[in-house]
Amino acid sequence: MAKRVTLPDFGIYFRTNSRSPIDFVCRETPNLLHDMVFLRSYLHDAAFEDRDVRLRGTVLRIGLKRDRWELYKSNGELERMATRLTIRPVLSLKWHSKPKVGSKFFIRDVYLGESFWDHSDKAEIVLSGFGKKPSQIRIVVRDPFSIRLLDVSRKK
């Protein structure tokens, strides 16, 4: 009989009681794949408008509001926080089914696109929205790349 393998509860690394802002940086492979799961959890239901997307040179910055899912289990309610997603070095950025003017883009998922697996010096990061044909932002980056999610500190 095969021995059943029980994986640890990775939620203990995600959930917190701390209200401190987060500064999350994805590591390079092989840890990148695990970090993308955490990034997906931090960004789920985050929202921004197209004017919040700024590509300057090879640095992409997206200002957004995210639900703090990492606090949900401790207090049973969601709070929103201003956050900045920074990705570099970006080679190109393309919208698929861009949201209508003035409407918000809600992130359902973030994942590595097919080109990540092609063993080239380029990769693709995809932010995907909701719906049958969701809006997407497909971000082509040079590998190695960096992804950082930084909560904007609250003024005291």
Residue 51 lies in a domain: yes
Domain assignment of residue 125, given as a range: 23-151
6's CB contacts (< 8 A; 6+ apart) are none
Let me know: does 109 contact 40? Beta carbons within 8 Å: yes
pLDDT at 75: 61
pLDDT at 153 over 90: no
Residue 99 lies in a domain: yes
Could you report the per-residue pLDDT of 32-62, keeping only the tens digit for each? Answer: 998 999 999 999 999 999 899 999 999 999 9
pLDDT at 89 over 80: yes
Q: Which residue reads 């021995």 in tokens?
A: 3
| Number of structural domains the chain divides into | 1
CA–CA separation, 47 and 49 (whole Å): 7
Residue 7 lies in a domain: no
pLDDT at 155: 54
pLDDT at 90 over 70: yes
Residue 96 lies in a domain: yes
Strand partners, 139: 93, 125
Residue 98 lies in a domain: yes
Residue 8 lies in a domain: no
Report the candidate in 147, 98, 151 with the shortest Cα–Cα distance to residue 125.
Answer: 147
Residue 83 lies in a domain: yes
Residue 127 lies in a domain: yes
Could you report the per-residue pLDDT of 101-132, keeping only the tens digit for each? Answer: 567 899 999 999 988 888 889 999 999 999 88
Let me know: does 103 contact 115? Beta carbons within 8 Å: no
**Of 39-48, 75-84, 137-146, minimum mean pLDDT range:** 75-84
pLDDT at 156: 47
